Structure 1
Amino acid sequence: MPGLYLLALLASLVGVGLLDRRFGLALWRDRRTTVIATVIGTVFFLAWDAVGIATGVFVKGDSALLLGLDLAPHLPVEEPVFLLFLSYLALVLYGAAGRMRSRREGAS
């Protein structure tokens, strides 16, 4: 089913966003910093992908789950969405770890 991977990425992004909103871990705690860090992370990983594609290390596989639209050779449209999700998820997990550490230190 074409587009299922993109749909799963978007659903996951919304789920992480809801957790972030509920617990104020990243975007809902510091919007500006989160947006800047997410954009920097996404651009960094896109550059990494470009180098990997240019050197022949990264190759797009065939999957019926992809939309079939490429932004560049071997760079499906889903890749930037995945990298955005990855960067945002890392920030949310970092915020959660910091909160857990603070609670643990406060309980001692």
Structure 2
Amino acid sequence: MPGLYLLAILAAAGGVAALDRRFRLAAFRSPRRTLLAVAAGTVFFLLWDAAGIAAGVFVKGGSDLLLGIDLAPHLPLEEPFFLAFLSYLAVVVWGSALRTGSSGEVR
């Protein structure tokens, strides 16, 4: 089913955002810093992808789950969404780690 992968990414991002909102771990604590970190991570990984594509290391496989829209050769539309999700997840996990003590209890 085309678009299912993008839908899954957005659904997962919604779940992470719900946790972020509930515990004020990243965007709901410091929106500007979170946006900057997510943007920086997304750009970094897009550049990484571009280098991998240019070197022939990264290639897009075929899948019925993708929309079929490419932003560049071997760079599907879903990739920036995934990279933004990955960066946001990392920031939320970092915020969670900062809030937990060595005992594992949330402060």
Give me the identity figure in percent: 66
1:94 matched to 2:94? The reply is yes
Residues paired across the two proteins, number: 107
How far did residue 15 of structure 1 move?
0.8
Regions of 4+ moved over 3 Å: 102-105
How far did residue 101 of structure 1 move?
2.2
Q: Secondary structure at the match of 1:50?
A: helix
TM-score (norm 1): 0.93
1:54 matched to 2:16? The reply is no
Where does residue 70 of structure 1 map in the other structure?
A: 70
How far did residue 100 of structure 1 move?
0.7
Q: Deviations over 1:39-96 (max 9, x none)?
A: 0000000000000000000000001100000000000000000000000000000011
Q: Distance in 2 between matches of 1:41 and 1:52?
A: 16
Q: Distance in 1 between matches of 2:18 and 2:102?
A: 22
Q: Distance in 2 between matches of 1:30 and 1:2?
A: 35
The gaps in structure 1 that reach 5 residues or longer are: none
The gaps in structure 2 that reach 5 residues or longer are: none
How far did residue 103 of structure 1 move?
7.1
Where does residue 24 of structure 1 map in the other structure?
A: 24
Q: Deviations over 1:22-50 (max 9, x none)?
A: 00000001111000010000000000000
More helix by share: 1
